[in-house]
Amino acid sequence: MLPVVADYPVRPESQVQASFDSASSFSVLRQYQYHVFLSFRGCDTRYRFTGSLFKALRDNKIHTFMDDVGLHRGNDISRTLVEAIKGSRIAIIVFSENYADSTYCLDELVKILECHESDDQFVLPVFYEVDTNDVRRQTGSYGEAMAKHEEKFKDDKSKVEKWKRALHEAANFTGFCFKGKKYEHEFIAKIVGVVSKEIKRVALPVADYPIGLESQVSKVKSLIFSDGYDGVHMIGIHGNGGSGKTTIAHAIYHLIANGFESICFLENVRENSYKHGLVHLQDILLSNIFERKNLKSTSVEQGISNIKHWLQQKKILLILDDVDKIEQLQALAGKPDWFGRGTRVIITTRDKDLLVCHGIQRIYQLENSNPESNITASARKDNTEQVVEKIIGGQVNGSLEPLFSEDTNVDRSKQVSVIQAQSNAQVICQFNENQAEFCHTCSLERIESANITLKVKEELEVKDLSLCAKLASLEEKKRELEEQIRAVKAEISDSTAERQLLREKELAMEKS
């Protein structure tokens, strides 16, 4: 039977387990030079199918390596090609009629499978006008080619056997088949869609290599796969604001995503459900999995029905970040039977009772609320002594200035000011690494603006600075301040209403 891709090529179970097992360390968070390496027979497809595929990938901002300058020299593939294969996240192998004629193509194929074995490189075969069985069993044009190689390399039979094994193994990967009576541009669009989905799993390039995360992630991973790889399991990560929950979830996401049919990371569930509602989050979940924009729900109940209908047979990795209400879990991941066999749902929250209430037994507890204790230093790959100026994402009805100056040799202290018009309170928030102090003053008269001042003062060696952990921590603290602001506004609003009511009663009594 020809391997055909539906929504996404699913790896065989043995490969999935190998992918999970290889995620035991942070070596997989490597930097890739290319998203895609194209292996193809130039005389068959360079100026037709492969050329069109290359253009489509580049048009979609997918960094692709295609040997277009004749890098083959001598009897072996060049060092440049070997490095390009090793430096690619995905290898697309275009099997065409004369692919096996080329010893260079066969050597490329062997190297690709070595990278799949050692680095979990994603292999996507495309059978262009050839039968998969001809590739797998070396019959037809592939049989003729291998017979010629056996004659030519009769003194090096191991080389030919290695090529045969590689062809057989590559043909067993799920991929795409093209055999006439199809529009090539539609066929290519499907391939580009699969590649786009795959490269979302691991960012390119990875700038920071977390050091202190490994022990934390290892413990979470042991919870995720404590009963093997079958079944549907929900795992909670609990900790205070700024403890590094989101950072750990991101690391887990990158380490194990390759073992799932589809993935979805819903960030800031608390904030987004407050701003946009649960139906919006349900729609995002489904659109991320299926990449369709027409999966819309009109109510939470319909959203639940849609999730169960579309995901019951799908093995997915779902991460719900910063959940604070049971209703959010009930709407997005109500029960394990909503999802297909092998699914994992990871939830980060500050409320452990919420996890228990939802029946989640596998909970990783971050004991210390200080991210500097939980997630220590992060060293840049090039060990540079330069801190990149970053802006904490989002606004509080204003603008946030960069928190860190470019001068890393002096104390960094900057104020972030936000003007919020038509507010009834003046809020001053001051934060340093030892304490957070919050106070508010209110006036009986309307105050036209409120100021929020966030003061960050630290003295750190750059090589010990973990931007990843610190930014995640500061983002969580920013969200805490936003919550406090909303609480103060509600308190003042209630107080104003009470005073108004008392005043109306006094006036009524005076008139009577």
Active centre residues (catalytic): 108
Are the C-beta atoms of 206 and 29 separated by less than 8 Å? yes
Are the C-beta atoms of 57 and 37 separated by less than 8 Å? no
Residue 420's alpha-carbon distances to 397, 399, 448, in angstroms, are: 6, 10, 8
Angle at which helices 184-199 and 49-59 cross, to 10°:
50
CA 133, 198, 28, 205 torsion-angle sign? positive
Are the C-beta atoms of 207 and 380 separated by less than 8 Å? yes
Strand (E) or helix (H) holding 65: strand 64-65
Closest to 166 in 3D by CA, of 121, 100, 120, 118: 100
Rounded CA-CA distance 154/150 in Å is 5
Rounded CA-CA distance 138/359 in Å is 53
Q: What are phi and psi of 422, to 5 degrees?
A: 55, 45
Place of tokens 């999802």: 339
Helices (H) and strands (E) in the chain, counts: 18, 16
DSSP string, 433-471: SS-EEEEEE--SSPPSEEEEEEEEEE---GGG--HHHHH
Rounded CA-CA distance 248/135 in Å is 42
Place of tokens 């700024």: 242
Residue 444's alpha-carbon distances to 441, 451, 495, 499, in angstroms, are: 10, 18, 10, 10
Tokens linked to 337: 């039977």
Query: Taking the CB of residue 102, how many other CB atoms lie within 10 A of it?
Result: 19
Return all residues near 71 (Cβ < 8 A) that are at least 6 apart: 77, 78, 80, 81
DSSP state for residue 12 in the 8-state scheme: P
Q: What are phi and psi of 227, to 5 degrees?
A: -110, 30
Buried-exposed string 21-52: b where 16+ CB fall within 10 A, e elsewhere: ebbeebebbbebebbbbbbbbbebbbeebbbe
